[in-house]
Each structure stands twice: as structure tokens, then as C-alpha cells.
Amino acid sequence: MKIGLAMGGGDKETPKQLVDRIVQAEAAGFPSVWLANIFSLDALTVLALAGERTKTVELGTAVVPTYPRHPHALAQQAATVNAACGGRLALGLGRSHQMVIENMFGIPYDKPITHMREYLTVVRDLTQKGSCAVDGKMYKVNASLSVSGSGPFPILIGALMPKMLEVCGELCDGTLTWMSGPVHIEKNIVPVLHDAAKRAGRPVPRVIASLPLSITSDPDGAKAFAAKAFQIYGMLPVYRACLDAEGAEGPADLALVGDEATVRKGLERLAAAGATDFYGAIFPTPNDDSSTKRTMDFLASLGGRI
């Protein structure tokens, strides 16, 4: 299982500061960095900047919401970023959540499975074939795209439940999970994803897992912090289903917390469950000033794989 880092999503970093951290992650040997795209910096723009200052690290989005962006516009932007970073983009897409798309953005959250299938078809055909002809229920796109210096790149989606996993296995290069523990991954994600890919005659997709983690001498304090910091994910329906599959009361129960040996065992359980990649969402333990550096040093010591 490859070990990468989660970054972005906060409102206190400038683009330069985030790019600096990506450069440092590459220098430390991390094979991949995955940027959130929530309510602050635009992940694809930051990755284009990071591509100019890095050489080997995979640069991924986890994830760009689909509903607010037309698939042709997104394909054009992603292909441009891929060209800027020398072919190292991994495009992670997701539906987001009804409360965000409808309540905040005022966009109908209609037919999410149909929406994602058609959206992916447009993006994939444009970036892999240079043209698309989609006459769907939600998108009717007959257009071309040519971005010099780009080429095909991995397209992934945040798929956690059966119907979306089937779409993922048929059309994508993998799924990006969040708040999914080893039980949910092994029993509910891997079998559905692999079966869908096999039926479609496609390669086995990646399962890219992510959980909060903190290596600390104060695990109780870390758990208490995680319970508050990640509380919202226990309220969103899709993540609630993932937590229930794990028998977890809340997100803090899935956080990888404790000393190096404890966190290593947690990572090994994810790998054994079928996760091909992990991107660690490091969070600070309030009463342990060394926790962030200690966690980063431990992950770096793994040499990019466990």
C-alpha cells in the first residue's frame, strides 16, 4: 500500500505555502499528495503551480465537486494542469453532498448516479480520445478538446456505496474513500469495485483510503480533538453509513491515534483489507506540540509504502 499525504481544505494557507508543503513532501519521499477542494483554495490551480516545482510526486485532487462545473470545462482545466505538471495529475471527482449542492450552491442534486455516469463519460472521452458525443439525460455534449503536452491521466471518484462503486469500476481508475475503515473496505468496497471492473473488462481499480491520524503520547486528547474536528462527517448520510458498517459511533473511532506501533497496525489492517493507497490526514493533538512532526516523520520513514 502506497503512503501519501492529504493537504488543503483549510483557509489559513496561501497558494505558495501549500505548494511549499508539496515540495517538502516530495523531498521527504512521499509518492503522492492529495488536495481537498472544499471552500478555500482551488485544488487544480494549486497543483498546476506545484507541478512547476516538483518532478516525481503524483498530484491528486480529493475531490473536485462535479455539479458546479460543466464536464467540458473541468476536462479542459484538468488537461491543462496535467500538461503543466508533466503528466502527474490524478483527477479525483465527487458529487459532494446534497446540503452543499442544493442548500449552499442552489443547484439541483438530481439523479446522482446518472449525473456521475454521464459526467465521467464526457471527461474521460475528452481527455483520452480528444472528443465526446454524449446524448444523455443530464448532459448533451458533442465537442472536442486538444491540450498540447497533456494526455490520458487517472480519473477517480469518491465512491463508497454499491451503485457508485459499480460506476467507478466500469469507468474509473479507482475510488477515493474517506471515513471508511478496514471492515467497510474489505466487505463492501473491494468486492463491488472489482466485480464491476471485471464485467467491464477493465483493470483492477485502485482503492485509495484516507483517515485522520495523529501519533501522540496523548491518545485520549487526540481522540477528543478528532471527535469535535470531524464531527460533521458523522452527520452526512454517506459517511454515516460507512461508520455504521464499521460499528463506529463517530469519526474519532476510525482515527488512527497512538504511538508508531499502533498507527502502523492500523495501516496494515487497511492494506490487508484491499486498500492500494493511503493518504494520511494528519491532525494535531492539542496538548502534544510534537504530534504533527512525529506523525510526518513516521509516515516519511515508511519510504512511501507499507
Domain extent, residue 255, equals 160-306
Supply the pLDDT for residue 9. 84
In which residue are the cell numbers 475510488 written? 175
Residues 254-270 pLDDT 10s: 999 999 999 999 999 99
pTM: 0.97
Supply the pLDDT for residue 187. 98
Residue 298: give its domain's CATH number: 3.20.20.30
123 in a structural domain: no
Going by pLDDT thresholds of 50, 70 and 90, the confidence category of residue 136 is very high
Asked if the model's pLDDT at residue 108 lies above 90, the reply is: yes
Rounded CA-CA distance 187/166 in Å is: 15
Per the CB < 8 A criterion, the answer to whether 233 and 171 are in contact is no
95 in a structural domain: no
What 3 state SS string does 40-56 have? Answer: CCCHHHHHHHHHCCCCC
State the amino acid at position 304 in one-letter form.
Answer: G
**Cα–Cα nearest to 18, from 1, 38, 43:** 43
272 in a structural domain: yes
Asked if the model's pLDDT at residue 93 lies above 90, the reply is: yes
169 in a structural domain: yes
137 in a structural domain: no
Mean pLDDT for 152-160 is 98
Share the mean pLDDT of the chain.
97
Share of the chain above pLDDT 90, in %: 98
